[in-house]
Chains A and B, each alone.
Chain A
Amino acid sequence: MIWNETIECATREEMRKIQSQRLIDTVQRVYHAVPGYRRKMQEAGLVPSDIRDIDDIVKLPFTIKQDLRDNYPFGMFSVPMSEIVRIHASSGTTGKPTVVGYTRKDLNMWAEVVTRSLVEAGVHRNDIVQVAYGYGLFTGGLGLHYGTENLGATVIPISGGNTEKQIQLMQDFGTSAIACTPSYALFLAEVMKDMGISPDSLKLRVGIFGAEPWSENMRKEIENKLHIKAIDIYGLSEVIGPGVSCECQEQAGMHINEDHFYPEIVDPQTLLPVPPGEKGELVFTTLTKEGIPLIRYRTRDLTRLIYDKCACGRTLVRMEKCFGRSDDMLIIRGVNVFPSQIESVLLEMSETEPHYLLIVEREGTLDTLKLMVEVQEQFFSDEIKALEALRKKITHKIQSTLGISVEVKLVEPKTIERTAGKAKRVIDNRKI
């Protein structure tokens, strides 16, 4: 089944027409309503009338995450606050989160794209969908929630954690679809096994997994352990949240809802568009968003676009699973982590530049974060209890900054490897 055939199966010509008109409208609006965009366009010698169709998008300046931070909290909104009906936010580098605002229309559009995604995943109105993404400032929970309601399926808004209860409700309520991070899905499978519950005794049929990178191997593992079809959903809060793109039953790339989010692939060094089908950095322009429209927003995710028609009948362009980042961001248990966040915590606690190493491992099914901190002169105390207190303080500060637990280990100076004078900051040992 296809939720919105007119759009999802439109010809390239029809789609271009929609995109062109919407881009023209968006540029008009942001030029007049958002000073930051106007200034950037003026610096590039552009006026709104220079944008006449979707191909003119390449003339526009890029937007980066730093622009959102510089305009914290609401400086990039293109409507008055009275029009904003909801706020979401993702963790920030210096304690300040990236804030996004939604108008009523934005929320309706978001529900629409999540509904399309759910239908692509094979969910229908008779399904019972357990939303085990976190509810709150994170977009995962509420994003899936309203998409499910919009479809007419039943939503169980259980949020993350509480694993045994999750499994009990699956049994009692007859949950047929689950939405969570792929690593949590594996964890669920493990706990289920420990509880002596066979997946065949459940009605669970499909999983909608996202918010962190996962591989084809992990998909196989989830599908084998839970006896379900595992579907990849993609999104980022700056653009909307989950539902920017999602796989269909073919599991051959995620269909981008390109009538709302226009994708480009650029070379992360030159920022020039790459030839069609080549790999590069994914860039999005929102075409209908009112709260916080984004012009050529650099996602830092590396992927490629597939324009061929999909066997499912949809013509929406597909993106491959992201195979990396063009910056140093890590995604750990669905949480975005920048090494610079660790650095700023350590800097707060000492005068000089700290040396540290982040080690990310996948133990069983869950990601763990270890932080090695060199005990330089400024940290060293003769007393064990002071060192223990220091370790606890670092642990606590990092946990409250990142929102995920971390194991801190104090190590001797110069034990963290330097390459060309520069310390290596991250070792990612996860096999994903």
Chain B
Amino acid sequence: MIAKQVSVFLENKSGRLNEVTRILGDAGINISAFSIADTSDFGVLRMIVPDPEKAVEVLKSNDFSVQTTRVVLMKTPNKPGTLAKALQILSDENIFIEYLYAFSMNEVSAVVVIRPTEIERCVEVLERYGANFEREM
């Protein structure tokens, strides 16, 4: 499925991440998954939240630079080798990945967040293989 990921620009200085999580917590927004990409000066915090619009609104009102990006959420079994298989498929289909991060929901399943260059085709490919994929597991 396609989801809206919330991205926030952060300077590399102490307390900034804390500030974002506090604001979201105060607004009653749960963070399902997040990752931080950083350079020596700044970072980008990327999150999956249940209500991206609300998250954007509260962060903007607190003067953060916020953006939403469409990403692919791929649910996979939480077993060794699954991610490798999924990535092999995308690689075979020449789908380029800007970045990805993953989290396990429980013992049984995990979710991979993928930002591909061509989102529609990525979804189409995963759907095409997806059924087989699940069955095989």
B41: which of A382, A383, A409 is its contact (CB, 8 Å)?
A409
Q: Report the separation of the CA atoms of residues A247 and B99 in the bound assembly, to the nearest whole angstrom.
A: 63
**Are B44 and A413 in contact, with the CB atoms below 8 A?**
no
Q: Report the separation of the CA atoms of residues A413 and B99 in the bound assembly, to the nearest whole angstrom.
A: 25
**Are A412 and B44 in contact, with the CB atoms below 8 A?**
no
Contacts A/B (CB < 8 Å), 30 sampled? A375-B9, A375-B42, A375-B65, A376-B65, A377-B65, A377-B66, A377-B67, A379-B65, A380-B9, A380-B65, A380-B67, A382-B7, A382-B44, A382-B67, A383-B44, A384-B37, A384-B44, A387-B9, A387-B42, A387-B44, A388-B39, A409-B41, A410-B9, A410-B11, A412-B10, A412-B11, A412-B16, A413-B63, A413-B64, A414-B63
Give chain A's interface residues, CB within 8 Å of chain B. 375-377, 379-384, 387-388, 409-415
Q: Report the separation of the CA atoms of residues A381 and B46 in the bound assembly, to the nearest whole angstrom.
A: 11
Residues of B within 8 A of A (CB-CB), count: 22
Q: Report the separation of the CA atoms of residues A380 and B38 in the bound assembly, to the nearest whole angstrom.
A: 14
Mark contacts of B93-135 with chain A using CB atoms, 8 A cut-off: 1 yes-contact digit, 0 otherwise: 0000011000000000000000100000000000000000000
Mark contacts of B29-68 with chain A using CB atoms, 8 A cut-off: 1 yes-contact digit, 0 otherwise: 0000000011101101010000000000000000111110
Q: With an 8 A cutoff between CB atoms, is B69 at the interface?
A: yes
Q: How many A-B residue pairs have CB under 8 A?
A: 53
Chain A nearest CB: distance from B72 CB in Å? 14
- With A377-B65, A412-B63, A412-B64 as given contacts, are A384 and B39 in contact (CB-CB < 8 Å)? yes
Interface residues in B64-91 (C-beta closer than 8 Å to A) = 64-67, 69
Give chain B's interface residues, CB within 8 Å of chain A. 5, 7, 9-11, 16, 37-39, 41-42, 44, 46, 63-67, 69, 98-99, 115
Give the nearest-CB partner of A376 in chain B. Answer: B65
- With A382-B44, A382-B46, A384-B44 as given contacts, are A411 and B11 in contact (CB-CB < 8 Å)? yes
Q: Report the separation of the CA atoms of residues A381 and B115 in the bound assembly, to the nearest whole angstrom.
A: 13
Chain A nearest CB: distance from B58 CB in Å? 15
Select the residue from A380, A387, A412, A413 with max chain B CB neighbours within 10 A: A412
**Are B41 and A410 in contact, with the CB atoms below 8 A?**
yes
B9: which of A388, A409, A412 is its contact (CB, 8 Å)?
A412
Complex contacts, A387 vs chain B, CB 8 Å: 9, 39, 42, 44
Complex contacts, A413 vs chain B, CB 8 Å: 9, 63-65
Chain B nearest CB: distance from A151 CB in Å? 51
Q: Report the separation of the CA atoms of residues A242 and B115 in the bound assembly, to the nearest whole angstrom.
A: 59
Q: Report the separation of the CA atoms of residues A410 and B44 in the bound assembly, to the nearest whole angstrom.
A: 12
Q: Report the separation of the CA atoms of residues A382 and B115 in the bound assembly, to the nearest whole angstrom.
A: 10
Chain A nearest CB: distance from B33 CB in Å? 15
Chain A nearest CB: distance from B14 CB in Å? 13
- With A409-B41, A410-B41, A413-B63 as given contacts, are A382 and B11 in contact (CB-CB < 8 Å)? no
Complex contacts, B39 vs chain A, CB 8 Å: 384, 387-388
Q: Report the separation of the CA atoms of residues A379 and B9 in the bound assembly, to the nearest whole angstrom.
A: 10
Complex contacts, A381 vs chain B, CB 8 Å: 67
Q: Report the separation of the CA atoms of residues A413 and B64 in the bound assembly, to the nearest whole angstrom.
A: 6
Complex contacts, B66 vs chain A, CB 8 Å: 377, 380
